[in-house]
Amino acid sequence: MENKKYKIENIEYKIIRKSIKHLYMEVKESYIEIRCNKFVDEEYIKKFILKHKELILKKLNKKHYFLGKVVEKEPDYKKETPKIVLPIVEKYSKVMGLYPFKVSFRFNKSRWGSCNFKNSIIFNYYLAKLPPDLIEYVVIHELSHIKHKHHQKPFWDEVGKILPDFMELRKKLRKFEKEI
C-alpha cells in the first residue's frame, strides 16, 4: 500500500493505493485523501481533484460555529444542543403557558425546528451554531405553533408578546444562515 503526499493548486492530498475498484475521496482536516487501486495514474487523480476543486476548497475551509462564534473544532452538536435548548424550552413554556407534548432533536438541512399537530417539537441539532438570541427566537417560534399551527397574524402576535423585535431577529437569522 502506497501512502504519498502531494500538492496541486494549494490542495494537499494523500494517495492510498488499495485493491479496490473505484476512486474515493475523503476531505480530512487539512488535506484530502484519495483511495484508489494501483492502476490509477497520477494524472487522472490530478484531473479528478481539479474537477472538484471548488467543493474541496469549500470543505477544507469550512468554519465551525458554536453559539454564533467561530470555533476551531466542530462541536458535538448531538451532545451539546439539548443541553442548551431544553432549559430555554422549559423557561419559555412557563412564561407562555405553552407546553410541548414531546421535544426531540435531529439533523436537518433546511429547518431549525418544527411543531406537529400533536404538539411535539423537533429541533435541529445544528441550532447550537446560532447565537443565543436566535436560539431563543426559534424556541419561541416553535412554542407559538402549539397555539397557532400557521404563520398568520395571530401566530406572529403570539411571538411578539415575548419578542417585540422578532422581525429583526428573523432578518438576523436569515443573514446568519447565509454565513454558516
Average pLDDT, rounded, for the chain: 93
Q: What percent of the chain has pLDDT over 70?
A: 98
pLDDT at 3: 61
Distance CA 32, CA 51 (A): 14
Strand intervals (E) in the chain: 3-8, 11-17, 24-27, 32-36, 64-66, 69-71, 102-106, 113-115, 120-124
pLDDT at 72: 83
The string of DSSP letters for 117-144 reads TT-EEEEEGGGGGS-HHHHHHHHHHHHH
pLDDT tens digits, 57-98: 888 888 889 999 999 888 999 999 999 999 999 999 999 999
CA distances for 54 relative to 19, 28, 33, 57, 58, angstroms = 29, 15, 16, 5, 6
Q: Which domains does the chain have, with CATH numbers?
A: 3-62 (no CATH), 66-179 (3.30.2010.10)
| Confidence band of 28 (pLDDT split at 50, 70, 90) | confident
Distance CA 38, CA 4 (A): 13
pLDDT at 99: 98
Distance CA 157, CA 143 (A): 13
The one-character DSSP state at 9 is T
pLDDT at 65: 94
| Cβ neighbours, 10 Å, residue 142 | 23
**Comparing 8-22, 81-95, 115-129, 146-160, which segment has the lowest mean pLDDT?**
8-22
Sheet bearing 32-36, strands edge to edge: 3-8, 11-17, 32-36, 24-27
Say whether pLDDT at 30 is over 90: no
| Confidence band of 43 (pLDDT split at 50, 70, 90) | very high
Distance CA 114, CA 104 (A): 10
If you average pLDDT over residues 112-122, what whole number do you get?
Answer: 98
